[in-house]
Amino acid sequence: KTSIGKSIARALNREYYRFSVGGLTDVAEIKGHRRTYVGALPGRIIQALKKCQTENPLILIDEVDKIGRGHQGDPASALLELLDPEQNSSFLDHYMDIPVDLSKVLFVCTANMTDTIPRPLLDRMELIELSGYVADEKMAIAERYLAPAAKEVSGLKDVDVNLEKEGIEELIKSYCRESGVRNLKKQIEKVYRKAALKIIQRLPEEEPSEGSKVREEVREEQEDATKREADAATESTGQPQEAPKLEAVQVPPDVHVSIGKDNLKDYVGPPVFTSDRLYDTTPPGVAMGLAWTSMGGAALYVESILQSALTSSSRPGFEQTGNLMSVMKESTVIAYSFAKSLMAKEFPDNKFFDKARLHLHCPEGAVQKDGPSAGITMATALLSLALNKPVDPTIAMTGELTVTGKVLRIGGLREKTVAARRAGAKTIIFPADNMSDWLELPENIKEGIEGHAASWYSEVFDIVFGSVDRHAINQLWAKELAEPEKSDKTTREDED
C-alpha cells in the first residue's frame, strides 16, 4: 500500500510525504503544541508542507486503522478537520496559530481493515479496496525484484547461485500464503543467506605458512594504526571517519548452487502449509466451503456426523464445534432449519432429521471463524448426511443462506477462487449477486474452474446432488426407524 502511494505521487508529479499514526495517542502530533511550551513544534502536517516546500503535496497517512486514543486527546477526531474538503481550507495549527489552506493537498490513508476506523472519519474518505496478490503476481514480483535484490544484499551478485522458478513456486505455495509479499521477501532473503553460508563452509581453509603469519601480523599493525588515526581525526573534527573496507571473500568460479523444489527445505526448513484438500474422497456429510482471511482465501471444510444410531425411539439434537463465533453459529442454526424444511417438503417420508442427533464441525479449531458465507456449505453437508450421498470433492461453494433458501452476496470472491484452485476444485458455486465480481476476475485465475451462480438453494442442490430417486430417498431410513414388532406372549395356566 505504501508503494502505491509513492507511485500515485510520481504519476501526479507531486512531492511525497509519509507519516504513520499507528499507536498515536497525542493529538498534538497532528495539530502541534502551543508556543508557550518549551520545545514546542508544529504538527506533522505543517512539517510536511515545510519539507515539501509546496502547497499541493501528496501526504500519506499510514496505518490509520491502528490510531490510538489517550488522555491527551483523540487523534482520529483531529483528522476529521484535516480530511474534510469543506473545512481543511482553513486548518489551524496550534503552533502556527494562523489558518493554513490544505485544500490542494492530496491525502491518502492506508489501513488493513475498516472495522476499527471511526465511522465519521471513514465517511470522509473514498474507500478503495485492494485485493491480495495471486500466485502469478507474486511469482513475477519475486523473479523481477525480490530475488535479484536479495542476491545482491547477501553478497552473491557475482556468484552462480540460482533460485529456480520451481523453488519460488514452492515458496509461494507451501511457505508464504499472506496477501502481500513481505513474508515471501523474508524467505527469499533467507534462502540466499543460507546459500552464502553453505558456500563459505565449503571453501577449503588455507594452512597458514610462516610468511603468511608475518603478513598477518603486519596487517593487524596497519589496522591498529589506521584505527588510531581515525579516532584522532574524530576527536579533532567531531565527525566520525569511515571504517576501512574489508576485503571480500573470493569465491572460485567453479562453485554452482541451484535451489529448486527438491532441496528448498534444506534452506528454509519443512513446509509451513500442506495441501488444502483434507479429503481426496469425501464421505457423506462433508462439503468444501471457501473462506476469506487476512492471509487471503482458504478452503473451509464442513463436517457433519451422526452421533448415535437411528432408532424409532431416538431423539433429535444438533451440536456445533470448531471455534465458531456468533454470526457463524447463527449460520449453522439457519442451515440446520433449512435442511429440515427442505427434507420435509421434498422428501416427507424421510424422517432422518426427526430422529437424528447430529454434530457439525469446522476443522482447525484453534482458528476463530466468523461470517455468514458458509451457509450453503453447511446446508449441503447436512443434506449429504440425510441423503447418504457424498459430495463431489472437486466442488467448492460459498454463499450466505436464509431460512427460505435464498443465497445472498458474499465478499472476497477473488481470494476464494484462488483458494479453490489451490485445493483442486473444478467447480465453484457462488451467489448470483456476485456475478459481476466473477466476470471481472482475470482469466488466469478462473482457468480450469467452472463457475455457477445461484440465487436459490434449489439451484445449488441440483448442481451438487443432481437428479435423485425420490422414492429411494423417502425409504432410505425406513428400516432403521421402523417400530419394533411386539411379540405375542402366551401364558399357560397350570391346572390343578
Question: Which range has the top average pLDDT, 19-23, 58-62, 474-478?
Answer: 58-62
**pLDDT tens per residue across span 273-312:** 766 678 888 999 999 999 987 677 889 999 999 998 888 8
Which residue spans of the chain are classified as CATH 3.30.230.10? Answer: 286-481
Looking at domain 286-481, its CATH architecture is: 2-Layer Sandwich (3.30)
CATH topology of domain 2-123: Rossmann fold (3.40.50)
∠ CA 33-36-38 to the nearest 5 degrees?
A: 80
Question: Residue 283: CB partners within 8 Å, gap ≥ 6?
Answer: 390
Which residue spans of the chain are classified as CATH 3.40.50.300? Answer: 2-123
Label residue 239 by pLDDT band (50, 70, 90). Answer: low
| CA dihedral of residues 114, 117, 121, 122 (deg, nearest 10) | 10
Say whether pLDDT at 488 is over 60.
Answer: no
N-to-C CA span, the chain:
103
Catalytic, 416? Answer yes
What is the SS3 assignment for 259? strand
Q: Classify domain 135-201+252-268 by CATH number.
A: 1.10.8.60
pLDDT at 312: 86
User: What share of the chain in percent tops pLDDT 90?
Assistant: 51
Say whether pLDDT at 263 is over 80.
Answer: yes
Say whether pLDDT at 210 is over 80.
Answer: no
pLDDT at 280: 84
**pLDDT tens per residue across span 126-177:** 998 887 788 888 999 999 999 999 999 998 888 889 999 999 999 988 888 7
pLDDT at 486: 59
pLDDT at 361: 96
Label residue 241 by pLDDT band (50, 70, 90). Answer: low
Mean pLDDT of the chain: 87
Label residue 50 by pLDDT band (50, 70, 90). Answer: very high
Q: Which of 131, 373, 479, 487 is catalytic?
A: 373
Q: Which of 416, 426, 446, 455 is catalytic?
A: 416
C-alpha cell at 392: 463431489
Catalytic, 227? Answer no
Say whether pLDDT at 208 is over 80.
Answer: no
Say whether pLDDT at 218 is over 70.
Answer: no
Say whether pLDDT at 366 is over 50.
Answer: yes
Q: What is the largest CA-CA distance in the chain?
A: 136
Which residue spans of the chain are classified as CATH 1.10.8.60? Answer: 135-201+252-268
**How far is 455 from 430, CA to CA, in rounded Å?**
9
Say whether pLDDT at 363 is over 80.
Answer: yes
Label residue 493 by pLDDT band (50, 70, 90). Answer: very low
Least-confidence region, from 95-104, 224-233, 274-283, 292-301: 224-233
Say whether pLDDT at 487 is over 60.
Answer: no
Task: Indicate the burial class of 371 (C-beta count within 10 angstroms; 0-12, 13-18, 19 or more).
Answer: buried
User: What share of the chain in percent tops pLDDT 70?
Assistant: 89
Question: What ranges in 364-487 are assigned the alpha helix state H?
Answer: 375-387, 413-422, 435-440, 443-446, 457-465, 470-474, 478-481
Between 321 and 249, residue with greater pLDDT? 321
Say whether pLDDT at 489 is over 50.
Answer: no
